[in-house]
Amino acid sequence: MPDFDPKTSPTKAPLRRLMAASLGLAAVFAPMGMNAQQATSPSISLFGTPGFIDNPSGELLPDGQIALTFGGLGGVLRSTATFQIAPRLIGSFRYAAHGPGLWDYINYDRSFDFAYQVLSESARLPSLTFGMRDFAGTGRYSSEYFVATKHLTPALTVSGGLAWGRLGGDTRAKLIGGDAIHTYKNWFTGSLGFFGGARWQVNDRLAVVGEYSNDTYALETTDYGFDRRSPWNFGATYQLHDWNLGLYYAYGSEIGFRATYQLNPMTPRIMGGRDNAPPLVAHRDGVVDSWGLSWTSDQAQLDSTRTRLTDALEQQGMVLEGVTLEGTRATIWVRNRRFGANTQAVGRAARVMTQVLPASVEVLTVVPVVNGVETTAVTVKRTDMETLEWAANGSHDMRGRAVFEDGIAFTLPPQDRVPGVYPDFSYKFSPYFSPSLFDPDAPIRADFGVQLEASYTPRPGLIFSGQIRQPLVGNLNTNTRVSDSVLPHVRSDAAEYDRQTGLELSHLTAEYFFRPRANVYGRVTVGYLERMYGGISAEVLWAPDARKFALGAELNYVAQRDFDVGLGFQDYRVATGHVSAYYRLNDRYQAQIDAGRYLAGDWGATFRVERRFQNDWRVGVFATLTDVPFDTFGEGAFDKGIYFNVPHSWLTGDPSRKGYSNTIHVISRDGGARLDVRNRLYDTVSGFEEPHLSDRWGRFWR
């Protein structure tokens, strides 16, 4: 029904007050039922994967879904992040603690799982899924299984499977303890056992689960007296807002609990963001006085145009670096500091041009500048801007008419540079939080402190910058671990750095970015490159326009820094470098191979595969194999792990170019360790090039 009472009409006066009060239409955003689908999603087990209590089922989560689960029973606590990598493929990372009492643990353990649904459920047949639990850790939970799952009715799900390893009742106890390494040789060994479960969805929120578990908990029984009396487990799960909660009675003696939070990278807090409205395209019809070209020789008008452009672009979070006016065409060089989608910045910059430039200008070119170098230039016709701004299919049509060209053809002429942009000095004082996760002795250590960053850019592409940090509170320095690595201690002395440092110089560098030729970007960095190394780093990236691949090469000569992270160096010196290939498999997956020499002087290659969401969410896995033998490497055999990036704008709905990212190594040691230099080229420029521009073209008119 109508929301206004049609009998009353507000007068102007209260309306003004209303406006003055500025209620702000965008200030209030209703919380969205982001996870409405969860009620019908599979229940999550104590292992954080689709399943019942301890047992997995063969069910899947929605594509891209991430489930964060925390739960435990009988002296076991497990934290798991599960990711629906592809529609049929699930992966999990888990950190578990085991011990005799609540909060009293004697062992911490990391594990990885995956599961692949081989056959989908049909009207008559169940789905069939193959999975491996803990396939790459210590092997404490290692199992390989097939499981079949069927929804007998929409509310009733049953599942049964066969497993090798722990799920099948056979603990690979010989794997545990000491420096034993779980490898593929242990897969599919031992006897097969049965496991199964059922779930009844009572209503939208409540479900009842039961299962038959063959897990003997032999290790936990030996280690601290886990009391297993029965294979039968029961429980109930309840959906409370965004959380799914579980309460269980398991193994005839234990009470268990679980909490799961699900999110999906494809579901940001606010679709399309809460970015303010864009500038409007100014139309030229009716404006006749500036159709002539006399203005091109009028210096005062040129200056005023430049000032107005600078001003209007600043309102859009952009810095105007230069402008060239040529009668019927205009080119602007802009630095986008606000929008995660470069397409959106280009769209807004082009609209600003229509507001400011004389009517004779028909061809508008926007050249985004990153670290002082020109990236892919986008050229649009002003007439198209005028006609397509609000057109039903305006975004698609605009994409069809826009022209992309390598920025090297649009080198900013010195005389067209906006005066005062360089030199540029800026600094920032801010708090920081630096955690160290999943150490075998303590699950988390962290420091809180303050940091000062400063940068000085005397001319485009040349950047002097540094950062100092002072921890205020924290316990990073309580790590007493001493490296037993037989390789040069290129990373394994991290604890020594934490212990010895106070006020630290995180980095202090001179960077130079340049474009040596078409499709090629270059970088040279000199100074204290990262916390543990200083020296020189040089990189080139060849990124052919609108292709799926890019190639890069990086060469570094570095010295290990002193443990106090000050100005001094230790004796260790190494030449390290890689040749990198980046390949976009499709609009969802990207692969990367870096082959070369690592910090310890070992030779090898790093393989990465990541799910790259177009909003810049990334979740990936990597593994590094080098000529260091597995037993020389030590625990873990080789370096591997997961990494992710969460864009700020996804979390907040506000436009931002920043994100949270982290890399979790299964075990961080000295083999396959890479220099951690800032501003590597691919991540810096790829978002400004095709195909990423087209990927997010929907933002052009946003």
Partner 1 sequence: MMIRHLFGALLGAVVLTGCDAGPSGEGTGLNALQGKDFRNDPRAAARVERLAQADAPSILFKIVDRDVLGALYLTQRRGTRSIWLSPDNSMVVLDRGVITATRGLGWDLMSAEVEATAQLIQNAREGRARRVHRHLDGEDRLIARSFFCEITTRGTRRITYGGRDVTTHLMEENCAHGDQKFRNLYWVQSGSGTVLQSRQWAGDGLGNLAIRHVQ
When asked if residue 266 is in the footprint of partner 1 (CB under 8 A), the reply is yes
When asked if residue 351 is in the footprint of partner 1 (CB under 8 A), the reply is no
Q: What does the alpha-carbon distance between residue 509 and residue 677 come to, in Å, rounded to a whole number?
A: 10
**Which stretch, 77-85, 126-134, 225-233, 291-299, contacts partner 1 (CB under 8 A)?**
77-85
- Cβ count near 130 (within 10 Å): 16
- Cβ count near 128 (within 10 Å): 17
Token pair belonging to 599 = 């910090």
When asked if residue 97 is in the footprint of partner 1 (CB under 8 A), the reply is yes
Among 370, 505, 599, 666, binds partner 1 (CB under 8 A): 370
Among 119, 245, 319, 559, binds partner 1 (CB under 8 A): 319
Q: Select 415 or 430, whichever has its Cβ closest to partner 1.
A: 430
* Smallest separation, CB 269 to partner 1 (Å): 9
Q: Select 110 or 182, whichever has its Cβ closest to partner 1.
A: 110
Residues 639-668 that bind partner 1 (CB under 8 A): 644-647, 653-662, 664
**Which stretch, 75-83, 147-155, 229-237, 291-299, contacts partner 1 (CB under 8 A)?**
75-83
When asked if residue 315 is in the footprint of partner 1 (CB under 8 A), the reply is yes
**Which stretch, 115-123, 422-430, 532-540, 597-605, contacts partner 1 (CB under 8 A)?**
422-430
When asked if residue 271 is in the footprint of partner 1 (CB under 8 A), the reply is yes
Token pair belonging to 381 = 């016709």
Q: Select 9 or 122, whichever has its Cβ closest to partner 1.
A: 9
Q: What does the alpha-carbon distance between residue 282 and residue 287 come to, in Å, rounded to a whole number?
A: 10
Residue 198 phi, psi dihedral angles, 5° rounding:
-145, 150
Q: Select 13 or 288, whichever has its Cβ closest to partner 1.
A: 13
When asked if residue 276 is in the footprint of partner 1 (CB under 8 A), the reply is yes
Alpha carbon 434 to its chain's center:
17
* Smallest separation, CB 548 to partner 1 (Å): 18
Residues 116-175 that bind partner 1 (CB under 8 A): none
When asked if residue 382 is in the footprint of partner 1 (CB under 8 A), the reply is no
Q: Select 13 or 300, whichever has its Cβ closest to partner 1.
A: 13
Among 46, 47, 54, 105, binds partner 1 (CB under 8 A): 105
Alpha carbon 600 to its chain's center:
28
Q: What does the alpha-carbon distance between residue 642 and residue 437 come to, in Å, rounded to a whole number?
A: 13
CB 469 within 8 A of CB 449: yes
When asked if residue 469 is in the footprint of partner 1 (CB under 8 A), the reply is no
Peptide bond into 56 cis (omega under 30): no
Q: Select 116 or 512, whichever has its Cβ closest to partner 1.
A: 512
When asked if residue 565 is in the footprint of partner 1 (CB under 8 A), the reply is no
When asked if residue 585 is in the footprint of partner 1 (CB under 8 A), the reply is no
Q: What does the alpha-carbon distance between residue 74 and residue 251 come to, in Å, rounded to a whole number?
A: 9
When asked if residue 84 is in the footprint of partner 1 (CB under 8 A), the reply is no
When asked if residue 255 is in the footprint of partner 1 (CB under 8 A), the reply is no
Q: What does the alpha-carbon distance between residue 675 and residue 509 come to, in Å, rounded to a whole number?
A: 15
Bridge-based pairing of strands 254-263 and 603-612 is unpaired
* Smallest separation, CB 441 to partner 1 (Å): 10
CB 663 within 8 A of CB 567: no
When asked if residue 394 is in the footprint of partner 1 (CB under 8 A), the reply is yes
* Smallest separation, CB 527 to partner 1 (Å): 15
For the chain, how far is it from start to end, CA to CA, in angstroms?
Answer: 31
When asked if residue 206 is in the footprint of partner 1 (CB under 8 A), the reply is no
Q: What does the alpha-carbon distance between residue 199 and residue 538 come to, in Å, rounded to a whole number?
A: 57
When asked if residue 328 is in the footprint of partner 1 (CB under 8 A), the reply is no
Q: What does the alpha-carbon distance between residue 461 and residue 457 come to, in Å, rounded to a whole number?
A: 8
**Which stretch, 183-191, 206-214, 312-320, 577-585, contacts partner 1 (CB under 8 A)?**
312-320
Token pair belonging to 443 = 């699950």
Residues 603-632 that bind partner 1 (CB under 8 A): 613-616
Q: What does the alpha-carbon distance between residue 282 and residue 375 come to, in Å, rounded to a whole number?
A: 27
Contacts of 508 (CB under 8 A, 6+ apart): 465, 466, 467, 527, 528
Rg (C-alpha) for the chain, rounded Å, is 29
When asked if residue 457 is in the footprint of partner 1 (CB under 8 A), the reply is yes
